[in-house]
Amino acid sequence: MANSEKIDKIIEKAVNAGIKAASNLNPFKRTEQLLYSYPTLKQQIIKTEQYIEDLNKVDSIGKSKDIATFGGGGSGESKDMMEVHQERIQEKLKSLERTRTDVKWIEVALDAVCNEKHFEIIEMRYFGNMSIVDIADILGMNQDGVNTHKRHLVKRLSVFLFGSDAVNM
In eight-state DSSP terms, residue 33 is: H
Return the pLDDT at 69: 47
Confidence of residue 63 (pLDDT cuts 50, 70, 90): very low
The answer to the question of residue 98 being in a domain is yes
The answer to the question of residue 68 being in a domain is no
User: Which tens digits make up the pLDDT trace of 130-146?
Assistant: 999 999 999 999 999 99
The number of folded domains in the chain is: 1
Mean residue pLDDT across the chain: 83
Return the pLDDT at 110: 98
Q: At what angle do helices 27-57 and 81-113 cross, to 10 degrees?
A: 140
Q: Is the pLDDT of residue 112 over 50?
A: yes
Query: In the chain, how long is the greatest CA-to-CA distance?
Result: 71
The answer to the question of residue 54 being in a domain is yes
Average confidence (pLDDT) over 48-60:
80
In angstroms, the CA 110 to CA 35 distance is: 9
The parent domain of residue 145 ranges over 28-62+77-167
HEC letters along 40-53: HHHHHHHHHHHHHH
The neighbour count for residue 159, using CB atoms within 10 Å, is: 18
The answer to the question of residue 129 being in a domain is yes
Share of residues in the chain with pLDDT > 90 (%):
59
The answer to the question of residue 140 being in a domain is yes
Confidence of residue 166 (pLDDT cuts 50, 70, 90): confident
The answer to the question of residue 157 being in a domain is yes
The answer to the question of residue 69 being in a domain is no
The answer to the question of residue 46 being in a domain is yes
CB hemisphere CA count around 165 (13 angstroms): 13
